[in-house]
Amino acid sequence: MSGRADLAAAFADIRAWLFDRALPLWSTRGTDFEHGGFIEKLAPDGAILAEPRRARVTGRQIYAFATAEKLGWPGPARAILRHGIKGLDRFVSPAGLVIRTTDETGTVLDDGFDLYDHAFVLFGLAAAASVGEKAADLEALAEGIRGRMQAGFAHPRAGFEESRPRSLPLKANPHMHMLEASLAWAAISDDPAWMALADEIAELCLATFLDPGTGALREYFDGDWIRIDTPPDDVVEPGHQFEWAWLLLRWGRLRRRDDALSAARRLIAVGEGPGVDAVGGLAINELNRDLSIRDDRCRLWPQTERTKAHCLAMALADDDAERDAAAGRAAAALRGLMRFFEHPVAGAWYEHIGADGKPMIEPTRASSLYHITCAVAEVADRLG
């Protein structure tokens, strides 16, 4: 079987699971119709767990159901999306910034600035606008949030601070999601500030986040954007190698930047080489800065990012052989991902598979649905 045919077969399987099991579960038990918003976690037996509600999960679930609608799910995707948009009200402060956490009734628990939560609220708004849901209103809300973030939390060089007063280390990961949100808005908005922000973050990544010795993406930095080379902050995460590669391939193609495309391909090589367990065939959690293994457990989300990176690399391949090889790697990643779905609760998943190849018994996190639907959408796009 060719790589592309293998990928198409794997896609049919995961799409069926998403449509028939996952989306029905998270649109019912995973949605809080009494208090608004979404459930954060389900226990291993499927029971709802009482957890603080995070802005990032609301943004992610809005994206997941907007994407479900685009993929053709026949369920109530638009109704759940609208439920999510209404639920965002509790997460926008009187100052027009994003509140991190509330309780289930909307009482504020933490209103400190968090770049990660801001990124996912902006991303969710873009997803809703992209399917025509109150696009002008949502764009105005997103532009207001972006402007206040830049006015209050911009780093003097590039990107954003973690807080005011300053807290360290500075982090690459929330900037990755700000790049994702900026690209999502740039695709549907006439406002040039979205692409300008994407450019700023992509340039920061190319200049600062990449280790020139290994080509790997690093996570933590001091206040001047100098990478930290002492444990535990010298970690290299295989999942983020793939995720940044996917974003840099997208940005590099838009901006005709061969340096970004080359950096992305190197990130994929790091992720696929030392970052994938040769026996189990899954992307592992963590490497040391010399790319030796630090944590050989395997979380669900790196498998989705591995799938996305190889799918886009397939689309940008130079010849048929390279294209088919990338498709085969994407199919292997997708099959690996589906191992996490062998859960006794239909539509739930395991978050970790241990080094012994056995799933770890722990709650299922609603936040992972974003990763799964994003991977399915990427495969769907590349298969045409």
184: containing domain: 3-383
Question: What percentage of the chain has pLDDT greater than the value 70?
Answer: 100
- Domain CATH code at residue 315: 1.50.10.10
Q: Identify which of 80, 53, 174 has the alpha carbon closest to the alpha carbon of residue 120.
A: 174
CB 287 within 8 A of CB 275: yes
Confidence label for 46 from pLDDT (cuts 50, 70 and 90): very high
Confidence label for 370 from pLDDT (cuts 50, 70 and 90): very high
Q: Report d(CA 167, CA 184) in Å as an integer.
A: 28
Q: Identify which of 98, 101, 66 has the alpha carbon closest to the alpha carbon of residue 81.
A: 66
Q: What is the pTM of this model?
A: 0.97
Q: Report d(CA 330, CA 7) in Å as an integer.
A: 7
Q: What is the mean pLDDT of residues 9-26?
A: 98
b/e string for 165-196 if b means 16 or more Cβ within 10 A?
eeeeebbbbbbbbbbbbbbbbbebbeeeebbe
The model's pLDDT over 227-239, given as tens digits with 9 standing for 90+, comes to 999 999 999 999 9
Number of domains into which the chain is organized: 1
Q: Report d(CA 362, CA 66) in Å as an integer.
A: 28
pLDDT for res 317: 94
CB 3 within 8 A of CB 328: yes
CB-based contacts of 268: which residues, under 8 Å, 6+ apart? 241, 242, 245, 309, 310, 313
Question: What percentage of the chain has pLDDT greater than the value 90?
Answer: 99
pLDDT for res 384: 86
Q: What is the mean pLDDT of residues 306-330?
A: 96
